[in-house]
Structure 1
Amino acid sequence: MTAPVVVVVGLVHLRGGRLLVARSARKKAFYLPGGKLEPGETGERALHREVAEELGVGLVPGSVREFRHYLAPAYGEGDGVLVDMTCFTGDLDGEPRPSGEIAELALVTEAEYAAHAETAPAIHEVLRDLAEAGLLAV
């Protein structure tokens, strides 16, 4: 039997060596701004839509680049469910603010994220990769 998979996109956006993460009003863990693809939607198109909905800003045209792909246990989706997350980098065209379903934004290092009471496994993988690349503050 194959594990259920949730296909999503996420924005990897760094400021001052910290990763921008968002917390939904319905969840306790922070995750990357982004979300599920709608039927027929490309990953990049979904990213543009989700960033506008969640952060209240757009992505600078031509700045979006695929970063990495992750497959990990899905936070908050039940036992055995996996998240298939394609991450992109991109420049924001304004100052992000919590919008729509987002209750809170934060900028975190790997250690700061790990200190949260609830965390998403895929975000730990993203942070580890960013730390290994020397892109995060310590």
Structure 2
Amino acid sequence: METIDKLAWIEIKDGLILSTRTKGRTKFYFPGGKREADENDFSALSREIKEELTVDLIEKTVNYFGTFQAQADLHPEGVQVKMTCYTGSYTGTIQPAAEIEEVVWLGYADREKVSPVDQIIFDWLKEERLLK
């Protein structure tokens, strides 16, 4: 079974979670991406967040949140995505950049608008009363 290894930033404010939509896509995804050669999780995640949202993660505030796995969106059946998630503070103003067309704050009612792995995270956040 093929597994895609990704990193994601979990940013929750007032019971809503930050999500992004890539140009040409209809589903929303948590911001983040894949590591490049020789990158650790923080350097890869901070690079991706800077590229996608123009903000800088503050390294000393970044904490492991959890790892979740599900069928990879837009991939053949059986291809899984393993998403290692982190929280953390940032400096700057969040705005879409690079391939990101839209930045939104979603609540649990928006669950069907996100990828399968993000839906698992939505469910967990709802159970923990972190998501409206």
TM bucket, shorter chain: over 0.9
Q: How many residues of Structure 1 are paired with residues of Structure 2 in the alignment? A: 132
Contact 2:42 2:59 (C-alpha < 8 Å) held by counterparts: no
**Residue equivalent to 2:77:** 79
The C-alpha deviation readout for 1:9-42, integer Å capped at 9, x for no partner, is 0000011110000111132210110011112211
TM (norm. structure 2) is 0.94
Contact 2:8 2:83 (C-alpha < 8 Å) held by counterparts: yes
In the TM superposition, what is the alpha-carbon distance from 1:86 to its structure 2 partner?
Answer: 0.2
Cα RMSD, aligned residues only: 1.2
**Residue equivalent to 2:118:** 123
In the alignment, structure 1 residue 132 sits paired with structure 2 residue 130: no
Question: Which residue of the other structure, out of 57, 60, 69, is the alignment partner of 1:59?
Answer: 57
Alignment of 1:2-13 (within 5 A): 3-13=1-11
In the TM superposition, what is the alpha-carbon distance from 1:94 to its structure 2 partner?
Answer: 1.9
Which stretches in structure 2 are left out of the alignment for 5+ residues?
none
Structure 1 runs of 4+ with >4 Å offset: none
In the TM superposition, what is the alpha-carbon distance from 1:7 to its structure 2 partner?
Answer: 0.6
Which structure's residues are more often helix, by fraction?
2
For 1:51 and 1:29, the matched residues in 2 are separated by: 18
Amino acid in the other structure paired with 1:128: D
Alignment of 1:103-114 (within 5 A): 103-114=101-112
In the TM superposition, what is the alpha-carbon distance from 1:96 to its structure 2 partner?
Answer: 0.7
For 1:81 and 1:26, the matched residues in 2 are separated by: 21
Contact 1:27 1:76 (C-alpha < 8 Å) held by counterparts: no
For 1:55 and 1:77, the matched residues in 2 are separated by: 25
